[in-house]
Structure 1
Amino acid sequence: MQPAPVPQTPPGALPVIETRGLTKVFRRSTAVDSADLLVRPGRVYGLLGPNGAGKSTTLKMILGLLPPTRGEVRLFGRPWDRQALSRIGASVNGPSFYGHLSARRNLMVHAHLLGLPEEEVERTLAAVELAGTERKKAKTFSTGMKGRLALAIAMLGNPDLLILDEPQNGLDPEGIAALRAMMRRFTDTGRTIVLSSHLLGEVASVADDIGLIAQGRLRYQGSLAELAPDGDLERAYFTLAGHPQEAGTVVS
C-alpha cells in the first residue's frame, strides 16, 4: 500500500502539527508505524480509525506523554519542545477532574496553575454551557456534563490548538450538536482542532481534513471528498481499515 499523501499547506502558513516517521513500539507490538501527519491551521483534522488502531498513542506522542520509539514531532513549525505545549489544550483518555469540587472550582485550580485570571474561568464555563452549576459537585455530573467539563479544562487560556480524544462519548444529540458548533466557532478564529474518533459520521459532519489510521498505519490523509469520491464513506472507511466485508454496516 502506498503511503498516505500529505496535504499541501498554503504558502506562508506553517503546519500546526507535522510528524515524520512517527513510530511507537511496545515490546514486540508496533502501535504506531511510521505516521506522517500534517495538520494545517484553522481547520478541524479528524483522526479516524477503529478502537485500538493507534489514535490515542499518536496523540500522546504529539503531547509528549509518550516518547516515540523513532520519528519526529514538530509543533507550530518547530521541533517539539515543552514551550509549545503552552499553546495546546487537550482532553485525552476521558475526563480528569476533582470529583468533590464544582466545575468552577475545578477550572479555578487549573487556571491558577496556568496563571490565568478568574475572568477566563467564567468565559470558559459559559462557552461549554456549564455556567450556573456552582453548587453541583463534578462527581454528580452526567456523562455529558463531565465531557463538557473536560472540554472546558482543555479550552482554558484560548489555546491555538485543541486535541480532543473521543469527545462525543456520552453526549446526547443536543450535546453533540453543541460540540459541533463550538468546534466551528473555535476554528473560525483561525485556531485548529485535532479530533480523534472511531465514529465516522460524527467526524464527517465537522472535519475539514481526515487522517485514517488502522493497525498503527496511516492509510489515508486528505479531504473527505477524496476519501470517497462516490459518496460511499462507509465502504471507503472499511476498505482502508482492512475490513471490506463490513462495508454497508452503519457507522454513526
Structure 2
Amino acid sequence: MNTPDFAIITDHLAKRFGKATVIHDVNLHVPTGQVYGLLGPNGAGKSTTLGLILGLLQPTSGGVELFGQPWRRDLLGRVGASLNGPAFYGHLSAAENLEVHARLLGLKADVVRRTLERVGLAGAGGKAAGQFSTGMKSRLALGMALLTEPDLLILDEPQNGLDPEGIYALRQQLRDYAGAGKTVLISSHQLGEVQQLADVIGVLHGGTLRYQGPLAQLQAGYDSLEDAYFHLTRAGQA
C-alpha cells in the first residue's frame, strides 16, 4: 500500500457557532512522517481545528482527509490523540488507567508496562491519577494516545505542566516517533518549543491560517522568528 504524502488535509474547513465564525477556510496539509506544529495565541481556534479533524465537531463547511482518504470514523483506529487533557479515572493509578484502555482496545497486557516506561510514569506506583501533578497528567495523556502506536498522533498543548526535563524528553520522543515514519500534529502557543520540534508549522489566528510552511521561510525578511510570528498574529488588530 502506498503511503500518502499527507496524513491530514483539510479542504476549506470552516466552523460557526451561532453567528460567530470560529474557523474560516482553513487548508492544513500535514506531511506524513513529520512533526507539524500548529501555532497560535489562546483563542486562535487550534483546539477547534483539532476537534474537527477528529470528528468531535462537525464542520459547517469544507472537509477533512485522513491518510489520503475522505474522513471516515474507522480511520480513527490509526489515530492517537489527546485534547484538553486526559480523560482518566481519578481513583485509579496510571497503570490501572492504561490497563482499562488496553483491554477496551484488545491490546496485550505488556503494552501497559512499556508505555509507562516510555512516558516516565513507571515509578508512579499506586498513586491515584486524581492526585497527579499537571505534568504527570500530561504524561498520562500522552501514554493513552500512544497505546496503539498510531500512525498519526494529535496532541493539544502536550507540554503543559511539564518541567524542563519533561519538555526535553517529550521533544525527543516526538522527534523519534516521526523519524520512525509516524506523523505528529501538535498545537501550541509556545513559539520557542515548536521552533525546536516541528518540521512544518501553521500559524492560526482569528480562525484563519496565516502561514503554512517551513520555519525558515516564515522568518525570511524579519529580524527574528518572533517578529515574523507577531506580525502575523497582530495583523488587523487595532
- For 1:13-32, list aligned pairs within 5 A: 13-32=4-23
- For 1:219-230, list aligned pairs within 5 A: 219-229=210-220, 230=222
CA–CA separation in structure 1 for the residues paired with 2:124 and 2:228: 43
Task: Report the number of matched residues.
Answer: 235
Paired AA for residue 210 in structure 1: I
Conserved 8 A contact 1:41-1:190: yes
CA–CA separation in structure 1 for the residues paired with 2:50 and 2:112: 26
TM-score (norm 1): 0.90
Conserved 8 A contact 1:16-1:40: yes
Distance 1:120 1:240, change over 3 A: same
- For 1:1-252, list aligned pairs within 5 A: 13-229=4-220, 230=222, 232-242=224-234
Conserved 8 A contact 1:211-1:218: yes
CA–CA separation in structure 2 for the residues paired with 1:231 and 1:36: 28
Structure 2 unaligned blocks of 5 or more: none
Runs of 4+ in 1 over 4 A off after TM superposition: none
Conserved 8 A contact 1:160-1:191: yes
Query: What's 1:7 paired with?
Result: none
CA–CA separation in structure 1 for the residues paired with 2:218 and 2:103: 44
CA–CA separation in structure 1 for the residues paired with 2:126 and 2:49: 38
Deviating more after overlay: 221-230 vs 54-63: 221-230
SS of the equivalent of 2:204 reads strand
Deviating more after overlay: 43-52 vs 122-131: 122-131
CA–CA separation in structure 1 for the residues paired with 2:236 and 2:143: 38
**1:157-182 Cα distance to aligned partner (Å, 9 max, x none):** 10001100001111111111111011
Conserved 8 A contact 2:4-2:68: no
CA–CA separation in structure 2 for the residues paired with 1:207 and 1:216: 21
CA–CA separation in structure 2 for the residues paired with 1:105 and 1:12: 35
TM-score (norm 2): 0.95
SS of the equivalent of 1:16 reads strand
CA–CA separation in structure 2 for the residues paired with 1:13 and 1:142: 39
Conserved 8 A contact 2:4-2:67: no
Conserved 8 A contact 1:235-1:244: no
CA–CA separation in structure 1 for the residues paired with 2:177 and 2:113: 17
Question: How big is the shift at 1:96?
Answer: 1.9
Identity between Structure 1 and Structure 2 (%): 58
Paired AA for residue 92 in structure 2: L
Conserved 8 A contact 1:41-1:191: yes
CA–CA separation in structure 2 for the residues paired with 1:91 and 1:195: 10
CA–CA separation in structure 2 for the residues paired with 1:39 and 1:170: 26
